[in-house]
Structures are given as C-alpha cells and as structure tokens.
Structure 1
C-alpha cells in the first residue's frame, strides 16, 4: 500500500467540510481569474460593437450600435450569410470547439476533459461570436463569455501545479466572472456556477468562484457599466392573483422551453443530413436569419434593446409577436446550424415576449409579466431555477419581485424535469455519448463510518498457525479470499490471502514457518472505527485489496472487516430509501 493512502487514513478527521489551506491559494488565484473574466467581457462587448458597425454601417468603430438603426435594404439577407461563412471557416481551420453556444462545451470540458481548454479556443471563441452576433446572428454574449472566461481560468490554472478538480474551480470562476462582467449579476453568476457548471458544492470551489465573481463585479463599472443592465422601475401588481399568475406563466414558458429544446435538436438533425461539409451549415442557416430580418429587424443580433423594451412595456404587440415567433425560428435554425453564439439572451427575449403577451391579455403590467417570463424560461430551459429567479431580479434591480420570479422559476423547472429527459444544455452532450446527472446528493459512503459498515467479529487466523496449516485451511475451509492474522492479544499482524496460500503451496519451502514469521502489517491498509466509507473505498481501489481490516486506533486490535460487499450494501440502503414507501400513522402499510 502507498504511504499516501495510509497517511490519509491516519490523518483523517471527521468534519463537515473537506477544505484545507489550498482553498486560500485558489482564492488568491481567483483574483487574477476574475480580472481576466472582466477584461474578457469588456473585450467581447467591444468586438461585438466593432463587428456590428463594420457589417451594418460600414464604419470602423467600437461604439454601441443597434442593428435596427441600419438601412441596408436587401443586404439584410446577405450580411448574416457573410458573417456565418467567416465563422464556418474559423471553425473548420481554427477549432471546432468554437461551434455552438459554449456552455455544453464548458460542461464537457469540466466533466470529461480535466478542465483543460486551449489558448486557441480562448482567442477564437470571442472573435467568432462577435462576428456571428455582429453580422446579425440572433444570439447573446453570455455563452461565448462563459466559454472565454472559462478558458482564461483554465489557461491560468494550467500554468500552475494543480489537480483537475482545482483547475475546474478556476475554469468555473472565470466563467462566472465573465458572466458578471457582461450582465452585472454576481449572485446569479455564482448560482449558475453551482447549478450548471461545478457539479459540487464545496468550500474549495465555492469560495474562489465568489472571489472571482466579485472581483469582476468591482471592475465592471470601470470597463462596462455600473448598476443593473436593464434597470427600470416595474411596479408590482397589487392583485391577490399576482403569485398564482406568476406560477401560470412559469408553466407556460416551461412548455415553451420544452418546445424550443426539442425543435432545436430536430433542426440540428436535419443539418446533419445535408450533403455538404458542416463548415457551410452556418451560412445555410443564416439565410433564414436574413429572411427573418426582412420581416422584422428586431430579431437580429443579441436583442438587448428588445429586452429593455419588453421590460418597460413600450414594445408594440406586433413586435412582441414577431419576437415570439420569428425570433424563435431564426434562433433555432441558426443555433442548429452550429454557428457560434449564446442561448441566454434569446431565451430571455422569448420568455419575456410570452410573459409580455400574457400581460397584454390581462390588460396591465406587461413589463412585469415579461420579467416573470424571463425568470421562468431560463429556469426551464437551463434547469437552473435559482439562477433564473435571481437573474431576472438582478438584471432589473427589482428584488421585491423575488417571490414572483421564484414561483415562476419553480413552475417552469417542474414542467421541464417532468417532460424532458435533458435540458437544452445537456442534450448536446448526451448526443456525444455522455451521460450527466444534474442532481446533487450526499455520498452514502461518506455518511457511513467503518464501525457502522463493517462485518463485526470477523473470522481470523492466529499468528501461530504454520504455513502448511494455513495452506490446508485455504484448500478445504476458506470462505473468503483473505483473512486477518492476529497475535495472542488480538492485534493485527497482517493479512493472508488465497493467492499467498497458492504461492506457498508451489514453493513448499515455508511449510514449517508460522504466519507470524511470514506476514507483516507494514504494507497492510487498515481503517479505524471513524474512517469514512469513502476513504475505505479509496483504499480498496488503490491497493486492489478487497477486504480492509478495521482496528482500534491505539491497540491495533481487530474489530471488523469492511469488504466491497459491505460498501455496496450501504449504497443499496440509500436506493431502498428512495423506492420503499411506508406509512407510520393511520395504519401499517408498506409498498
């Protein structure tokens, strides 16, 4: 057994968390990553503005520009195609990882790629996204900045001597910092990290993510802007039906999220059937984008102005309908074609338009219901209910609307998980042969300690037994592969296995010797009564020894044995707790 394994057991102390001083190291590194994420957000915003000015106004400028102000005639069809051709070429000859909206790629890198992103992705992803969005692609900047900020954190982590889990922490810290830099929503960015990216909730990862996010938030006023991105006063409805109506809108946009996700991947399947290289798919999808732009230019680009108009209730009914229908079509086709862009801003528009139209039917508070729709659709589509609820409140500064956004997010989340096996983010990963379970549960092995899992008073062999007697025992009586060897006081001398008996039998030279003379506990892994089942499992995996003796810490007397079967029983107990149903009051029953 390695010294590191037994040192882990010897130094193991029971505590609520596993944090150590390396958390502080990662928190310090997160200051750098947070700065990089903020700068990345600023750079992406400027690149999008530069591309928008070049494509639609023919000028070299990084000032904010709105596509709806441009007058280009029929070129509204050609410009998205030109941008998409450039993106396709960048993906074909640069990196295929820039395709798509970025979040599934970040998740896949975290879970299956040891959190290592390349410098090429860090450069090409924001550049390709800026070209895509600037040329009229109906996307937002959040997916690209999550990928870009994640790449910044990953690259910085790769320059240091860190584990894959620590690299993951800094990758996610960069992603959250980038999202904060774009939207100014630090709490929602932290929750997105927890609900979508980290796949854990540990101090080791949580604290650095908070540090990076708040660093980005502190720098944002100097780089982008201060205050909420869509700061507006939205009076809360005074009707007693406001909360139930929020829940109803949540159900509606939850169904909308299901339709959007299903349609997206059906469209993607159709592109895969085309007899042309995938490099040309974005250009083909851009034809639909251009035609949609001829119907209503509001469907082009990120659409942040449309989000603002939905929230302040100033959008006309005609434009809201166009956003709900035409924006959905052009976004789904463009995203299904594999071009580069994000999902969050389009989702906000589509959910906001649905809520806005409900408000029109109710005759009042259309902007408020648009905000509720935004919270719900983000929750339903991304399976991030807390993020959706907080994000809508932070975007607008309307924290007094939190009860309404929470019920909408909860309703949409319930619809989504009941009707869809996977979210719009994880479906793409599943299609690549990967399975992701987006549920956090306590590890049952970490709940149990060795003295609760072990088989007590196990059969042992005395150290005085000769090798010949031991060989005879294994030939005729042994039920297990290995047994503890103890001295006259019950203290562990070592373990003897069936493999040892076969070796001794073939050698034949150690027959007169005793087990006490032959075995040694120097290399024998042991557990103590308070050692957790998780550490015992680690010992079994690392050493290949299937039965770990449990000994008293001071006397080294054998108390029991923890086998693979004992560990599996602990897992099965947790499974039974999920499926066995009993009634304890009002009559005995069990199902």
Structure 2
C-alpha cells in the first residue's frame, strides 16, 4: 500500500483538528491588557486637557477672556479683523512648530497614526506627543474649522507608543498599545466607547484578534470611566425624545440621502487633495502653507462665523432641529470649502467634528424637503452617511450617530444611509481622505479583510504523497543517478527537489536537496553518504496543519519545501509540501471569485399527452 492510499482522500479521511482553535491567544494578552489600563486613564486626562486648552485659546482670541469652557466662534459679535487674521496667526505658529519641532504634527492625525502603525513599527517620537495637541489647540482655538478628535487620536497613540517603547515588546504589541491610547482618547472626547472600539477595528488595528481587541477594549472602558468626573456622563448631543414616524417610504428616502451623503463625502475628499496639490505648486516653503490656509478660513469666517472652530453647538442645533435654513446653507457650503482647503494646507486638526457638522447640515437641508419623521432625524442619517463615506467606515458612522444622541430607534435608517454612502464612496473613489495621504507617499494600504484561504486548507489536501526517499548510507552519486535518468515515470521524482533521508529503521534523520547532490558530484565528493551530506533535524510539518501555518514556518526557516510527517509518529514521512503547493489555496480563492456557474436549474416536466417539442 502506498502512502497516498494509506492517507485516503480529504473527503473520506477523518482529520484531528483538536490542536486548532477559532482564535490564537496566549497569556501574553493579559500582560498587554494590564499595560493598556493606565494608558486608557492617561489618554482620558489628555483629552480633557486638550479640550480645555482649546477653550482657553478660543476664549482669549475671540472673546477676550480667560475661560476653559469649550466654545466656538460665532456665538456673538466679533471684530472682523480678529476673524480674518486670527486663523492666519494660528497658521504661522503651526508652520513654525512643524518646521522646527516635528513635521509629524501636520495633518489631521489619523493618517499619521496609520503610517506609524504600518510603516514605522508603531514608534512615535516623544516630541509628537507634546507638539501635536498644542498645535491642534492653536489651530482650532484661532478659528480653524477642525475637530479635536484627530489630534487626540495621534496624541493618545503617541502616549501608548512611548510607554511601549520603554518596555521589551514586539512591534505588534506596540501597535496594540498605540491603538489603545488612540481609541481611549476618542472615547473620552465623545463619550462613545463602542464607536471608539469600532474605529480601532475598522481603521487602526488592521486585524481582528483577541491579542489586540481585548487590550484596546480595556483601555477604552477605563478612559470612559475616567471621563465621567472630568467631562460628564451624558450624551454629547441631546435630541428630542419623541417617537419617530418611520415607514418604508422613509427607508427609501434614506437611500437617496445616503447617495447625497456619499457624493458630499467624495467632494470633500477631492477638495482636500486638490488643495494639497495646489499648495505644493506654490513657490514658498510648506511652513507658510498653514498661514495661507488661514486666509481661506478667515474669509469663510467673515461670511459664516459659525463655520469656525469645533462647532459642537451648531451640530447640536442640527440634530435637535432648531437650526435655521439660511445658516444650514451657509454651513454646508462654507464649512465644506474652508475645512477641505485649509486641511490641504497641512495644518493640524481633526476630521470627525467637521464631518458631523457638514453631514448634519446636509440632513438639516433635507428636513425642508423630506417628510417630517422627527426633529433632527434626517440630520442624524446624513451625519452617519457622510462619516461612513469620508472615512469608509460605515459601522463606525452608525455607532457614532447612535452613541452621540442615544437615538437607538433610528438604527435601521442609519444603517441604510451609512451603507449607501459607503457604497457610493468605494465605487467612485479609490482612496479615502485617510489613506490617500499614505498612497501619495508611495505606499499601498488595503482595508479589505477576509478569511485567508491558506487558513482553511490543510497540508494533507495539497501535499505530494508519492515521495522518493533515500537511505542514509546511499552515496550521493547513486542518489543523483536515481533522479537523473530520463524515465518518464521519474518526472515527479525529479521535480521533487527535496528528498527525505531515512535511517536504518526507516525513520527520518535528514533531508537532502537536489542542489546538494549536484554540488557534491561537481566537487568530486560524490562518494559521500547522503546521511552525512543532508541537513539533520529538518523543519517538518504535519498533514493536519493549515497551509497558513506552513507558510509561516517556511518564512521563519527560510525554506520553500519541507517533509510532512505523521503527528503520532514524527519519524514517519507521509509526504512533501512545497511553496508551489501553497498556491493551491490562492487558486481556490481565485476560482471562487472568478468562475461563474449555474448550480441549480429549473426542470419543466411536460405531460405525456403533449407532443414532444420540435
């Protein structure tokens, strides 16, 4: 009986998979979780400090008073000179900080965090942790139409990274702590723990594993608890609590609003990078670009002062249905333009709050066209849609909208609107506002996740079980001769390239390659026994291992072939696995995505008394 007959086919052979599990987790996960707890607490304190710093600068610049309360320009009369020149002065300060401090403070924080994770080994410079929140507070406090969440993501991530860099951790563990700090800061800012976790999963972790999810969730929970005495426990935006008058017609209109939100998200994204391209063509150093962007902000502030700053009060009025039509139109146009163009200048500021305001303005405008469902309902749907379209994160958009307002009865419309906007965004534009910046630096980032086909195929399904083996005392010359003849029956053996070497009891003792045999013949040492020539204690695998496990072993051992041995008898060779065979998993995945077939057919049974068809 051959080894192939003994093994049987994948369909009739029972397979022991007791050594495999749904997830891979070790006690190390608990260690990283313990490290994430203080990071979550500190990130919440940093979020509080940043919001207070923004409040101090805004009050000093626009209201000429010392107060830490977070306010936005536009709630009262301002000197036009201040409105025009404050953003310019803020841009000058940011340009100087970026040039002589760290260029990493430029941008809205999320692309920088993603770049640090994917390309920088999750290492963030200490100066970034200090300069990023200060520069963002200056940008927002002097009228910049940005949010505080992007800088908090970068700052919290920097704290987590710095903490990790003082310890002996892997790059993956540093990434986990970086994301833990980022998500914790986000949760503390908006009191949205679930949305912060979703943001981490959809945007920052680039994996779904217990080793990273559990520490991040722990940090977010701690940050939310620490937030309560600092910033309060209530929702950020209170909306009327009356019942929504929903029906199928409203759900259909959510699709239309989702399309509009997706197109608005595309427009904002295109404007950001069109502005960035335009600034690059200017014959001045990039240090001056934020100040030039400040001119755009100042002019927009003269037209619609409420478009300046974070604008939580405006978002709140959009969501409770109290905002006027004239202001809605002004916010929709001016906020979109000044945010997109000024962000392209490389200043420091976030994305989420502006998207809340712009999306809310779109929905508030729809309130005057669509049927009344409830105060602020359409603004809430459009907010989730714009967020899902700009960030390509529909789950995050839906959960943010729910946690910001606790309007849980709007769940289905939110899913419809955000998913539609997401579909429009991914069909029309290749990159989001978060990934285009990374792509422009020559790197590719894919945000698609699926089950690795190598994870569901086993070695026994693709290995070569008809294996040529050598006895240890066989000479290299005889071994080479046995695979060098032109007998058509030996084609597979010549292609094998790696040959198990068996001892006196027919147990695996080594492996020898065709190259080693040919080299021995060329060097005149063809009399050497293959047992002495081969590689002792070779790397092996088992028929019940997944192809992904084998790929990992090949990469770690720097080999492209290995013998397959029986799990219950490690000395018994049952096959050979090669790198080429691993492609079988990819081929199956390709066939499932490419090959078109009709599985079921309708069969019409004609009565016997009818004549047969022509």
TM-score interval for Structure 1 and Structure 2 normalised by the shorter chain: over 0.9
> Matched residues in 2 for 1:12 and 1:443: separation?
20
Three-state SS of the structure 1 residue aligned to 2:495 is coil
Three-state SS of the structure 1 residue aligned to 2:574 is strand
- Provide, for residues 226-267 of structure 1, a one-character-per-residue CA deviation record: whole Å limited to 9, x for no partner: 111112225343142222222221111011111111121111
> Which residue of structure 1 aligns with residue 46 of structure 2?
40
User: Quick one: which of 507, 527, 545 aligns to 1:491?
Assistant: 507
> Matched residues in 2 for 1:235 and 1:254: separation?
28
> Which residue of structure 2 aligns with residue 16 of structure 1?
22
Q: Is 1:50 matched up with 2:64?
A: no
Three-state SS of the structure 2 residue aligned to 1:261 is helix
Residues 307 and 498 of structure 1: is their aligned pair in 2 closer, same or farther, counting only changes over 3 Å?
Answer: same
Between stretches 480-489 and 560-569, larger displacement belongs to 480-489
Three-state SS of the structure 2 residue aligned to 1:484 is strand
Q: Is 1:260 matched up with 2:275?
A: no
User: Quick one: which of 8, 26, 35 aligns to 1:29?
Assistant: 35
> Which residue of structure 1 aligns with residue 320 of structure 2?
312
Residues 42 and 446 of structure 1: is their aligned pair in 2 closer, same or farther, counting only changes over 3 Å?
Answer: same
> Which residue of structure 2 aligns with residue 559 of structure 1?
574
Paired residue total: 576
The answer to whether the 8 A contact 2:262-2:389 is kept is: yes
The answer to whether the 8 A contact 1:14-1:530 is kept is: no
What TM-score comes out, normalization by structure 2 length?
Answer: 0.91
> Matched residues in 1 for 2:55 and 2:485: separation?
82
User: Quick one: which of 544, 548, 553 aligns to 1:539?
Assistant: 553
Three-state SS of the structure 2 residue aligned to 1:362 is coil
> Which residue of structure 2 aligns with residue 219 of structure 1?
226
Residues 259 and 504 of structure 1: is their aligned pair in 2 closer, same or farther, counting only changes over 3 Å?
Answer: same
Between stretches 179-188 and 237-246, larger displacement belongs to 237-246
> Which residue of structure 1 aligns with residue 583 of structure 2?
568
The answer to whether the 8 A contact 1:236-1:401 is kept is: no
> Which residue of structure 2 aligns with residue 431 of structure 1?
440
The answer to whether the 8 A contact 2:516-2:533 is kept is: no
The answer to whether the 8 A contact 1:235-1:368 is kept is: no
> Matched residues in 2 for 1:422 and 1:381: separation?
10
What TM-score comes out, normalization by structure 1 length?
Answer: 0.94
> Matched residues in 1 for 2:455 and 2:45: separation?
40
Q: Is 1:167 matched up with 2:182?
A: no
> Matched residues in 2 for 1:422 and 1:393: separation?
26
Three-state SS of the structure 1 residue aligned to 2:136 is helix
> Which residue of structure 2 aligns with residue 7 of structure 1?
none
> Which residue of structure 2 aligns with residue 446 of structure 1?
455
> Matched residues in 2 for 1:16 and 1:84: separation?
51
The answer to whether the 8 A contact 1:261-1:424 is kept is: yes
User: Quick one: which of 271, 274, 293 aligns to 2:282?
Assistant: 274
> Matched residues in 1 for 2:268 and 2:72: separation?
26
Q: Give 1 or 2 for the bigger CA radius of gyration.
A: 2
Matches for 1:82-97 after TM superposition, within 5 Å: 82-97=89-104
> Which residue of structure 2 aligns with residue 348 of structure 1?
356
> Matched residues in 1 for 2:157 and 2:118: separation?
13
Three-state SS of the structure 2 residue aligned to 1:583 is coil
- Provide, for residues 187-234 of structure 1, a one-character-per-residue CA deviation record: whole Å limited to 9, x for no partner: 000001001111110000111111000001101111112111112225
Matches for 1:109-508 after TM superposition, within 5 Å: 109-240=116-247, 241-362=249-370, 364=372, 365=374, 367-473=376-482, 476=485, 478-487=494-503, 490-508=506-524
- Provide, for residues 374-431 of structure 1, a one-character-per-residue CA deviation record: whole Å limited to 9, x for no partner: 1111111101111100100100111121111111111111111111111111111111
> Matched residues in 1 for 2:484 and 2:64: separation?
88
Between stretches 48-57 and 320-329, larger displacement belongs to 48-57
> Matched residues in 1 for 2:95 and 2:532: separation?
72
> Matched residues in 2 for 1:494 and 1:516: separation?
7
> Which residue of structure 1 aligns with residue 536 of structure 2?
521
- Kindly state the Cα deviation for residue 366 of structure 1 after the two structures are TM-superposed: 5.1
User: Quick one: which of 525, 530, 546 aligns to 2:544?
Assistant: 530
**What are the ranges of 5 or more consecutive residues in structure 2 without an aligned counterpart?**
1-16, 487-493, 604-614
CA-based RMSD of the aligned residues comes to 1.9
The answer to whether the 8 A contact 2:151-2:349 is kept is: yes
The answer to whether the 8 A contact 2:317-2:323 is kept is: yes
The answer to whether the 8 A contact 2:62-2:82 is kept is: no
> Matched residues in 1 for 2:224 and 2:96: separation?
35
The answer to whether the 8 A contact 1:483-1:495 is kept is: yes
Three-state SS of the structure 1 residue aligned to 2:575 is strand
> Matched residues in 1 for 2:375 and 2:244: separation?
10
The answer to whether the 8 A contact 2:72-2:306 is kept is: no
The answer to whether the 8 A contact 1:458-1:561 is kept is: yes
- Kindly state the Cα deviation for residue 372 of structure 1 after the two structures are TM-superposed: 0.8
- Kindly state the Cα deviation for residue 488 of structure 1 after the two structures are TM-superposed: 6.0
- Kindly state the Cα deviation for residue 335 of structure 1 after the two structures are TM-superposed: 0.4
> Matched residues in 2 for 1:517 and 1:342: separation?
65
- Kindly state the Cα deviation for residue 469 of structure 1 after the two structures are TM-superposed: 1.1
- Kindly state the Cα deviation for residue 547 of structure 1 after the two structures are TM-superposed: 1.3
Three-state SS of the structure 2 residue aligned to 1:233 is coil
> Matched residues in 1 for 2:335 and 2:223: separation?
31
The answer to whether the 8 A contact 2:564-2:576 is kept is: yes
> Matched residues in 2 for 1:538 and 1:197: separation?
24
> Which residue of structure 2 aligns with residue 5 of structure 1?
none
Three-state SS of the structure 1 residue aligned to 2:542 is coil
The answer to whether the 8 A contact 1:355-1:366 is kept is: no
The answer to whether the 8 A contact 2:240-2:375 is kept is: no
Matches for 1:100-111 after TM superposition, within 5 Å: 100-111=107-118
Between stretches 127-136 and 282-291, larger displacement belongs to 282-291
- Kindly state the Cα deviation for residue 16 of structure 1 after the two structures are TM-superposed: 1.1
Residues 188 and 46 of structure 1: is their aligned pair in 2 closer, same or farther, counting only changes over 3 Å?
Answer: same
